[in-house]
Copies of this chain bind each other. A is one copy, B any other.
Amino acid sequence: MREVGIGIAGFGTVGGGVLSILQRHAHDIQARLGARIVVKRVVLRDAGKSRPVEVPAALVSTRLEDLLEDPAVEVVVELIGGVDQAFDLVAGALARKKHVVTANKALLAARGDEIFRLARQNGVDVYYEAAVCGGVPIIRTLRESLASDRINSLMGIVNGTTNFILTAMAERGEAIGPVLAEAQRLGYAEADPTLDVSGGDAAQKLCVLAQLAFGSRLKPEEVLTEGIMGLSPDDFVWGREFGYTLKLLAVARRCGAPGTPGAEQIEARVHPAFIPQASLLAGVRGAMNAVVLRSEALGASMLYGQGAGAMPTGSAVVSDIIDLTRNILSGSPGRVPLPPEEALVRLRGHAEIRCAYYLHFSVKDEPGVLARIAATLAARSISVAAVQQREQPDAAAPVPLVFVTHEAREADVRAAIAEIDRHPSTLEPTRLIRIETV
């Protein structure tokens, strides 16, 4: 029986999941493929460390070069993370006409272009389902729909850590500090949670998704990115009054110049957003992930599942390995579409973003303030959908005054806020939260 040899680089949680799924399902995989998937080599940093899944000593190495130099390794599974070393490994594998499965979103967001070009040049495949939302088959779904549909927008909850935190804040009314500490205790947040709570992780994922869905060429630092650390329990209370839930959303969508090749633009942004309590995304709780797609043929669709964890992510890696093995066996690598070689869309400047806004002003309790704010908004063509003023027993304290706008231009909203915040009757900086009616 034909064997397909794989080499695994990096053996943390996901690597353990991959090996245990391959072992447990060896019989089924063999029956379905008519071939065996054999782990030829596992490269790990510290060969002496004990692990939950045992690796036969004969397979273990600490040199990445061993994977590249071993002709029995036809597929390199990159699970070491980071950008530079991972790039060298992946590029080395592709140059030697080895196929690659990677779970590394940072690598793809930073250097995906080069990797896909190398894969094309060498006639081999790169699979990366596990790089974005482990247990949600979003990469496969985008790939499948590329040839026969046109994606107009994607919007998702793609970071489990922040969704865990926001769900707890919404349901218990607590401040972010204690909830983050709890998430760290429970293993939902890292000791250094910066990448997650800043929105940076979601921005990396958005770049990978948008490249495939729209043919964009974005770097994470180009994505409008706002994190969750500035959110307060009060924001959730106010949101509820208007029928909203607060989620960290990653959004990419086509806007403007449709059909004009090269002129078409997309918005790309990651930020806390109010969404209707009755929307499906509002029901995505805890550390779960979900992505809503809107496309011409399918209309709205949603994929939901676990975003992280040894088994969901490991399972995504194994699905990729199996798919790749089928291509190898049938002599048809290159079967699976990669993102297009040329950028098909450009990024719309963040100032030109259009959406609805929640604006929370803190003002002096004096006549004419409401009228002045309303006039400032109107002067910049910002149309108001709802206003609410909360009674304030303490006359000296700032009065909260909340406006919900219809769709408006980000630059106009920013300019109006700047003007309002300069006025002496505004006591605290205005809070802005975007609204998406998913």
List A residues at the B interface (Cβ < 8 Å): 17, 21-22, 25, 28-29, 32-33, 135-137, 140-141, 144-149, 278-280, 282-284, 288, 290, 296-306, 309, 311-312, 314-315, 318-319, 322-323, 326-327, 329-332, 335, 337
Contacts and interface: CB of A to CB of B under 8 A. Distances in A.
A299 B135 contact: yes
Contacts of A32: 146-147, 337
* A contact patch SS: mixed
Contacts of A17: 297
Contacts of A145: 315, 319
B312 A299 contact: yes
B304 A301 contact: yes
Nearest to A20: B297
A261 to B, nearest CB: 12
Given A141-B137, A335-B330, A298 B302 contact: no
A290 B290 CA distance: 13
B298 A306 contact: yes
Contacts of A331: 330-332
Tallying the copies of this chain within the complex gives 2
Given A146-B28, A314-B297, A305 B304 contact: no
Given A147-B32, A330-B330, A311 B297 contact: yes
23 contacts: A21-B149, A32-B146, A33-B147, A135-B301, A148-B322, A149-B315, A279-B283, A280-B280, A280-B304, A288-B300, A297-B314, A298-B305, A298-B312, A298-B315, A299-B306, A299-B311, A299-B312, A300-B306, A302-B303, A302-B304, A326-B332, A330-B330, A332-B332
A358 to B, nearest CB: 22
Contacts of A314: 297
Given A140-B144, A301-B306, A319-B148, A311 B284 contact: no
Q: Which 5 A-B pairs have the closest CB atoms?
A: A330-B332, A301-B305, A297-B315, A302-B304, A148-B318
Given A329-B332, A332-B329, A301 B146 contact: no
Contacts of A141: 137
A141 B141 CA distance: 9
A243 to B, nearest CB: 14
From A17, A21, A282, A304, residue with most partner B Cβ within 10 Å: A304
A137 B337 CA distance: 18
Given A283-B278, A283-B280, A21 B297 contact: yes
B312 A297 contact: yes
Given A137-B141, A144-B319, 10 more contacts: A29-B148, A32-B146, A33-B147, A135-B299, A145-B319, A148-B315, A297-B311, A299-B306, A299-B309, A332-B332
Contact of A302 (B21, B282, B302, B330): B302
Contacts of A283: 278-280, 282-283
Nearest to A148: B318
A299 B135 CA distance: 8
B306 A305 contact: no
A350 to B, nearest CB: 30
Contacts of A332: 326, 329-332
Given A299-B306, A301-B306, A28 B147 contact: yes
Contacts of A337: 32
Nearest to A31: B147
Contacts of A140: 140, 144
A302 B299 contact: no
A284 B283 CA distance: 11
Contacts of A303: 301-304
A25 to B, nearest CB: 5
A154 B28 CA distance: 20
Contacts of A301: 135-136, 303-306
A144 B25 CA distance: 13
A331 B332 CA distance: 8
A25 B151 CA distance: 13
Nearest to A295: B315
A25 B332 CA distance: 23
Nearest to A28: B147
